[in-house]
């Protein structure tokens, strides 16, 4: 095990390690695949109707796509982009999160006020958990014990025990919570509120809101600042928040919760994903049909890459 970790550290330090970046195009019904080093488009592949949420297994062998209008999750071979099989997801799957072990998959069913738990090996539905109206954001604690679902019209973060499938806590946040993300040691949970214009910082142990991050961009109407996707570096020091139609990504100090900078990206930025070495952060810009590439260390946008129609979700292969 120790050898593996050392090896991983060496690999992570290797600069020229390319990963495949997968972007769902909601209106294009396809996925654009990019190379994370050359930042060139490798190809575009059909993936079913209204693809939104996208994730990949920890070993990088299975790519999962929420095909919202097909009411299922499609599973692809990330190398060939051939469809391997489908998973039952419940109606209108929008976003999902994999257990850190790679199984099961927790799916938000936006039209049905449910979170569906699916075993990705047996392809069986393990549970359906009733949550608030319009479930969307899905986060999982680093130890895999708690799954968070946010409901956009109920305005709550629901804490779900992954052993019992019971809701153990509900935290009321601001309007239209879109996304939930833990930091890597599980000491903070970030929940974005699109209409509220805030990110609530929650202590997972007490489920209390310990801080509320607000945003202000000179020359941008406050209504246009709509926080959606949230990503935290593995050292917990930098938090990136996609601010929707303000076309900015906020950079936040993970320790003080202060906003440090706003990076100008493409139009209507929603979701984001790091490369495994956290050199780059990719953002999906739904109205300009492109992906912005952020240099994480420099906190600069280095490139924008045109993808398909209305890019929604993004994931980077772990290997």
Partner 1 sequence: MFKGIMGLLAGACALAGPVMGQQPETQQVRAAVLRVDETRLPPISRLDLPPADLGFAGARLAIEDNDTTGRFMGQDFEAVEVTATPETAAAEMDKIIAGGIQFVVVLADDATTLALADQAGDRAMLLNARARGDTLRGADCRFNTIHVAPSHAMLTDALAQFLMWKNWPDWLLVHGSHPDDQALAAAWRRSAAKFGATIVEERVFTDTGGARATDSGHVQVQAQMPVFTQRAPDYDVLIAADESDIFAPYLPYLTWDPRPVAGSAGLVPRSWHPAMEAWGGTQYQNRFERMANRPIREEDYQAWLALRIVGEAATRTRSADPAELRQFILSDQFDVAGFKGQKLTVRDWDHQVRQPILLTTGVLTTSVSPQDQYLHQTSALDTLGIDRPETECSF
Binding site for partner 1 (CB under 8 A): 92, 110-111, 113-114, 127-130, 132-134, 151-156, 158-159, 164-172, 175-176, 195-197, 206-208, 221, 223, 226, 245
Nearer Cβ to partner 1, position 197 or 313? Answer: 197
- Contact by Cβ (8 Å): 140, 151: no
Cis geometry, peptide bond prior to residue 269 (ω within 30 degrees of 0) = no
Nearer to partner 1, 43 or 130 (CB): 130
Closest separation between CB of residue 262 and partner 1, Å? Answer: 19
Supply the minimum distance, in Å, between the C-beta of residue 76 and partner 1.
25
Element (H, E) at 7: helix 2-13
Alpha-carbon torsion angle 187, 279, 25, 89, nearest 10: -40
Q: Which is nearer to partner 1, 114 or 281 (CB)?
A: 114
Minimum separation from the CB atom of position 279 to partner 1 (A): 34
Shortest separation between residue 171's beta carbon and partner 1, angstroms? 7
Contact partners, residue 99, CB within 8 Å, separation at least 6 = 105, 106, 140, 144, 162
State which residue, 76 or 179, has the beta carbon closest to partner 1: 179
Phi/psi for 12 (5° steps) reads -65, -30
Closer of 195 and 301 to partner 1 (Cβ) = 195
The owner of tokens 């130890």 is: 143
Shortest reach from residue 105's CB to partner 1, in Å? 18
Exposure b/e, 6-17, CB count within 10 A at least 16 = b: eeeeeeeeeeee
Q: Radius of gyration (Cα) for the chain, nearest Å?
A: 18
């Amino acid at each position: 095990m120790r050898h593996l970790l050392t090896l991983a550290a060496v690999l992570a330090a290797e600069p020229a390690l390319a990963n495949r970046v997968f972007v769902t195009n909601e209106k294009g019904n396809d996925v654009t695949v990019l190379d994370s080093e050359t930042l060139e488009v490798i190809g575009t592949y059909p993936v079913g109707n209204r693809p939104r949420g996208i994730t990949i297994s920890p070993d990088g062998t299975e790519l999962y796509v929420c095909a919202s209008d097909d009411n299922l999750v499609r599973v692809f071979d990330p190398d060939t982009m051939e469809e391997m099989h489908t998973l039952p997801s419940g109606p209108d799957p929008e976003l999902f999160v994999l257990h850190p072990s790679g199984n099961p998959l927790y799916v938000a069913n936006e039209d049905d006020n449910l979170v569906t738990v699916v075993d990705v090996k047996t392809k069986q539905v393990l549970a359906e958990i009733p949550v608030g109206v319009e479930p969307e954001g899905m986060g999982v604690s680093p130890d895999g014990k708690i799954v968070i679902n946010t409901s956009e019209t109920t305005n709550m973060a629901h804490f779900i025990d992954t052993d019992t499938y019971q809701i153990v806590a509900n935290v009321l946040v601001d309007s239209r919570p879109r996304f939930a993300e833990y930091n890597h040691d599980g000491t903070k949970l970030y929940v974005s509120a699109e209409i509220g214009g805030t990110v609530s910082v929650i202590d997972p142990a007490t489920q209390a809101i310990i801080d509320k991050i607000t945003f202000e961009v000179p020359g941008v109407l406050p209504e246009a600042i709509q926080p959606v996707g949230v990503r935290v570096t593995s050292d917990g020091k930098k938090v990136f928040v996609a601010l929707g139609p303000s076309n900015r990504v906020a950079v936040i100090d993970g320790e003080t919760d202060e906003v440090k900078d706003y990076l100008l990206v493409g139009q209507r930025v929603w979701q984001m994903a790091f490369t495994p070495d956290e050199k780059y952060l990719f953002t999906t810009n739904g109205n300009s049909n492109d992906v912005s590439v952020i240099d994480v260390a420099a906190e600069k946008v280095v490139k924008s890459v045109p993808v398909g129609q209305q890019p929604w979700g993004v994931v980077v292969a772990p290997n």
